[in-house]
Structure 1
Amino acid sequence: MDADYLPFHPNPSQPVFTAPDGAVDAHCHVFGPVDKFPYHPMRKYTPCDASKDQLFALRDHLGFARNVIVQASCHGTDNTALLDALRTSGNLARGVAVVDSQVTDAELTQMHAAGVRGVRFNFVKRLVDTIPKEVFLNIATKIKKLGWHIVVYFEAPDLADLIPFLKELDTVIVVDHMGRPDVTKGVEGEDFQNFVNLLSENSNIWTKVSCPERLTQQAPNYNDVVPYMRTLVEQFPDRVLWGTDWPHPNMISHVPDDGKLVDVIPKIAPTAQLQQALLVDNPMRLYWS
């Protein structure tokens, strides 16, 4: 792994919060192991190995039942590690793949059989090279036949330029990590309100209320991020997902404790009804129905 890379927490705490039966960690990754699933030669970073067995052990430790595994940029469009994890999960995992415009219908059908239900479009420039929007639109046309959705990853300053493109995608869209707002600007700030308006005006757009550890200046309680997450959960209760983001690639400030991340959930979804929607009903409807 890279010399400055922070490995995931070796011994996460037991959460105080008890997740409802059937809870889904709807955003996590598998990396390698590199001797079996090499990283992409054009990757922007090299992580530590984070295997499917370690992921599933964490799932059980945290009191969750299922995972949605998202292909990360270090593996590029080689989804082999992802597909291996899905095929050995016993139907307890679904996947979000990364593909290029050359992907065939036959390949997509094989991925669907393994448990893939979406593709990810990454617009974070420090992680991926710029790809023409036409390429993404071509992929969107291909995956629509399977009923898949599209996960988009971007940072708040890029939202305005992306809105016309997002409105061209005629499918469900899931935005990673609330569009990465700058939490120093406040919930009522223009950037975050633009994101709230995007969801208000487009009923096909969902979001993950995840990764407070990436946005906070108040680790490890993340209280500065909680108002953003809670706003989205309360305003869009049927279009929000939650995930750990394990194994937390490219963290710089600290190594998050996944048990502490779980304990943020009752702060952002304070009622049993909201928790059930966030952790069970919404991900099950999107990934297992």
Structure 2
Amino acid sequence: MSPDAAIDCHLHIIGAPAQYPLDPKRRYTPAEASAPDYWKAVANTPVGRIVIVQPSFYGTDNSCLVDALREAGGRARGVAVLDASDMTDGALQVLHEAGVRGIRINTLSNRSGARPLADALGDIVDALKGSGWHIQVLCDPQDFALLTEIQDKRALPLVLDHFGFLTPNASPDDRAGLLRLVDGGAWIKLSGTDRLGGAQSGPWFRDLATEIGARAPDRIVWGSDWPHTPLHSDVTLSAAVPVPSRKIDTVALFRTAAGWFKDDDLRRRFLSGNASALYDFQSD
């Protein structure tokens, strides 16, 4: 596979509930979304490698993630979710061999049961020292100050999901907080625009992407967020019945993001080079 093949750094694979039980504490029951379904969704793009991210509704059971990684072979890496008690050397080695290269903390999808962000980060940093893995965080922008305080102390790369979950309605202070994290060394997934704002928000995300890219050209990556699961703000969600994913044109998302950067070298770094280094694709 060409080293320039684009890398989708954020997607979820959702297996059959009979094979992969869902977390009893989940906010909703998702519809199935298979790897073949994903590849059909990006068939008209240059995406050739992927990063599968553990979703909230599986909790800390990473079995669907691991099986999907093994089936994909060298085309895929993963980001897992673990409790502190699960972070044994043996467990981490099994995940590493499957293709996992990071641990995710998600305080947005699990608001009622999430551990304090500072505590969760401390446990992960201690467990992953020397591993070469990273910490991926999906949090409210109000937590940027905390992340900034601990960023200089961390021993691992920090990756922020979905533009740091900044929306076009974000305050100037929240935008400044995100940029402070970027200036301090954070990586940013320039993803989730369909989740964060409507079609009219395109110029706002383009301008923010351009600003982040100018500050951190080697720490920006792209993700589709396929299969476009329900919005975090949807208060009607229920675990009682499967909730379909949103109908989003994934190819259009890719093409829009690819157009944010006019410089060919920067666009290559954004779509493949940076992610190849962060997720250790270079070892294959």
User: How many equivalent pairs are there?
Assistant: 266
The structure in which a higher percent of residues are helix is: 2
Secondary structure, aligned partner of 1:279? helix
Of 198, 214, 222, 2:195 maps to 214
For residue 166 of structure 2, what is the amino acid of its counterpart? Answer: P
The answer to whether the 8 Å contact 2:4/2:273 transfers is no
The aligned counterpart of 1:281 is 273
The sequence identity of aligned pairs, in percent, is 33
Which amino acid counterpart does residue 55 of structure 1 have in structure 2? Answer: Y
Instruction: Say if 1:101 and 1:136, in contact at 8 Å, map to a contact too.
Output: no
How far 1:247 moved relative to its partner? 0.8
Extract unaligned runs of 5+ from structure 1. Answer: 1-18
Q: 1:141 to 1:161 in 2, by over 3 A?
A: closer
Deviates most, 120-129 or 239-248:
120-129
1:42 aligns with 2:12: no
TM-score (norm 1): 0.84
- Measure how far apart 1:157 and its partner are: 2.6
Change (3 A) 1:217 1:119: same
> Secondary structure of the residue that 1:224 maps to in structure 2?
helix
Instruction: Note if contact 2:188-2:219 (Cα within 8 Å) is conserved in structure 1.
Output: yes
Q: C-alpha separation between the residues in 2 aligned to 1:266 and 1:20?
A: 17
1:94 is matched with 77
Report the CA distance between 1:223 and its aligned residue. 2.8
Whether contact under 8 Å (1:20, 1:276) holds in the other structure is no
> Deviation string for 1:185-218 (max 9, x for gaps)?
58xx232122112211x22x11111111122233
The CA deviation string for residues 31-80 of structure 1, in whole angstroms up to 9 with x for no partner, is: 12222212111112211111122223334443311000110110010000
1:228 pairs with 196, 201, 208, which one?
208
1:244 offset after TM fit, Å? 0.1
Q: Displacement, 1:127?
A: 4.9
After superposition, the CA RMSD in angstroms is: 2.3
Q: Deviations over 1:226-260 (max 9, x none)?
A: 21122112221100010000011223796321111
Secondary structure at the aligned position of 1:65 is classed as strand
Within 5 Å, give how 1:1-289 maps onto structure 2. 21-103=4-86, 104-124=88-108, 127=111, 129-132=113-116, 133-185=118-170, 189-200=172-183, 202-203=184-185, 205-218=186-199, 222-251=202-231, 255-287=247-279, 288-289=281-282
Q: What are the ranges of 5 or more consecutive residues in structure 2 without an aligned counterpart? A: 235-245
Letter in 2 for 1:118: G
Residues of 2 paired with 1:57 and 1:245: CA distance?
Answer: 15
CA offset at residue 128 of structure 1?
Answer: 5.7
